Each structure stands twice: as C-alpha cells, then as structure tokens.
C-alpha cells in the first residue's frame, strides 16, 4: 500500500543546486515507485533579495559574493553542467550569464501552488533561466513559463501586473528564514519533521524516505 509523503521544497529559481536537488529527489521517488505518493509543496527563498531589477552578471556576482576567481567559477560551472547532463537537464551558463531578482517568480509560484501547478512552473522557470538564458526580469518570460506549466495566460499576466501575493510571499520567506532557520537552499523537509539540505544524490533521498516509511525515524 502506498504511503503519502509531504515534501516541502524551499528553493530559489537562480540556484543551480536547487535544480539538481529537485531532479535527484524526483529520481529517488521514481525508484521507490508505488511505495510512496509525494505531496509536493514549493516555498520561496531569495538568495539575493536586494538584487536590482536589471540583474547582474552571474560570474561577477559569484566572484564578489563568494570570492571565486574566474578559473574557479569556470570549473564550478563545468561541474554543474556535467551533473545536469547526468540528470537530463541542460545548464548553458557561461561567463556572460545573468542573475536576476526572483521575487516576481515567487509571486507567480505562490499563485501556481494554489492551482496545483507549482511543480510544473518551477521546472519551467528553471529551464527558462538555466537552459534558455531568458531574462527573469521580463514578465513575458514568466508568462511563457506559466503557460507551459498549464496556467492561464490572462490570469498570470494579472498576477504579475497587480503585485498580488506580495505580502504572502514576504511572510512565507520570513517564516522559513526566521522560524525554521533556513539560511541556504535547497532545503527539503519530509512530513514537516525531517530536513535534508543541498543537492544530495538520489540514494541519500531514497535512504531517508525508506527510513521514514519504515517508521525508523
């Protein structure tokens, strides 16, 4: 008999490790098959809440924020690209890639969560940013992602234009940050009790889920 498993996935759109973590978790769940039925919930986290609307060169941002040299940055991008290839996801980032303010993405995801489409929209936004290098500060990029996730064009445009869900997203971000002490992403919480941080391999996710199903933790 299948067992329901609540999954709270806290992440940001411009976080490559969030892509890797999500894809690895999906793979782990596929391996577990009918033993578990995932109940997905996606939550906002902004890595760069002060990022201006015009964005910033990604390589320059990483160099300043983490103190990486150009060579170290290139090596890191190569490693992430290879991991993506292994998971069937294409990272096309290079030295000219941009990083964006993602607050509007999270407003749209909050709306999509209510419609049961947040998982599909999350992947569509990841692909828009990492695979197609589309600007996340352009509402049309977000609307195209929403449509590809099965959401209504007119409604998506209204959400973005109106500023709707601003307060809800701010409150949710603050709750995860201040009440749950989430300071990095991805953060994956199972059944509201068991947290795993980072883009862990599928075997790690599967091991923890099996222990939860067996009542060992």
> How many helices and strands (H and E) does the chain possess?
9, 6
Fold of the CATH domain 3-213:
Glutaredoxin (3.40.30)
Q: Which residues, in sequence order, are CB contacts of 186 under 8 Å at separation 6+?
A: 9, 10, 11, 15, 17, 18, 21, 22, 197, 198, 199
User: Is the bond leading into 186 cis (omega within 30 degrees of zero)?
Assistant: yes
Per DSSP, the three-state class of 9 is strand
Phi-psi region of 32 (alpha: psi -120 to 50; beta: other; left: phi over 0): alpha
Q: Minimum mean pLDDT among 33-37, 64-68, 131-135, 200-204: which range? A: 64-68
Q: What is the pLDDT of residue 27?
A: 97
Question: Which residue ranges make up each domain of the chain?
Answer: 3-213
- How far is residue 178 CA from its own chain's centroid? 19
pLDDT in tens, 42-88: 999 999 999 998 999 998 998 888 888 888 888 989 999 999 999 99
Rounded to whole angstroms, what are the CA distances from 144 to 54, 125, 127, 147?
Answer: 20, 9, 11, 5
């Amino acid at each position: 008999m299948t067992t329901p498993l609540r999954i709270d996935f806290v992440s940001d759109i411009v976080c490559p490790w969030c892509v890797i973590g999500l894809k690895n978790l999906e793979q782990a769940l596929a391996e577990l098959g009918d033993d578990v039925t995932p109940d997905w919930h996606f939550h906002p986290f902004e890595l760069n809440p002060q990022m201006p609307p015009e964005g910033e060169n990604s390589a320059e941002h990483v160099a300043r924020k983490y103190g990486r040299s150009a060579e170290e940055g290139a090596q890191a991008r190569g490693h992430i690209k290879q991991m993506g290839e292994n998971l069937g996801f294409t990272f096309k980032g290079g030295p000219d890639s941009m990083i964006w303010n993602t607050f509007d993405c999270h407003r749209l995801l909050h709306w999509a969560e209510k419609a049961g489409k947040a998982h599909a929209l999350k992947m569509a936004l990841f692909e828009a940013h990492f695979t197609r290098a589309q600007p996340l500060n352009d509402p049309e990029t977000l609307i195209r992602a929403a449509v590809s996730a099965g959401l209504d064009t007119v409604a998506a445009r209204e959400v973005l234009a109106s500023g709707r869900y601003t307060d809800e997203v701010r409150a949710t971000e603050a709750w995860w940050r201040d009440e749950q002490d989430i300071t990095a992403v991805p953060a994956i919480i199972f059944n509201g009790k068991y947290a795993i941080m980072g883009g862990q391999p599928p075997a790690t996710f599967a091991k923890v889920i099996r222990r939860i199903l067996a009542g060992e933790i």
